[in-house]
């Protein structure tokens, strides 16, 4: 079964994490609205550590999408 275009966009972002190793649980610190987000630090097969941050939905009342960022310090 093929994913729709919206779903495929997110699947493509997640693919670099496949085969990686979860190294830590992380959090963002509070933003300007007092919100703090959490996620996982994943050491990917290419050696980079990427943070998978779980975001809220646009209304802020439930689960939503995610963000993947490269960790500044890959140690």
- Per residue in 47-74, pLDDT (tens digit) is 999 999 988 776 766 556 788 888 776 5
Under the banding of pLDDT at 50, 70 and 90, the label for residue 35 is: confident
Residues 73, 50 contacting (CB under 8 angstroms): no
Distance CA 54, CA 27 (A): 10
Whether pTM > 0.85 for this model: the answer is no
Q: Which of 70, 13, 12 is nearest to 43 (CA)?
A: 70
pLDDT over 70 percentage in the chain? 87
Beta bridge partners of 67: 53
């Amino acid at each position: 079964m093929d994913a729709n275009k919206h779903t495929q966009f997110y699947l493509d972002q997640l693919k670099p994490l496949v085969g990686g190793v979860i190294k830590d649980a992380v959090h963002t610190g509070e933003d300007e609205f007092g919100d703090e987000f959490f996620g996982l630090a994943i050491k990917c097969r290419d050696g980079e550590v990427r943070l998978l941050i779980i975001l809220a939905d646009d209304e802020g009342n439930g689960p939503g999408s995610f963000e993947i960022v490269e960790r500044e310090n890959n140690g």
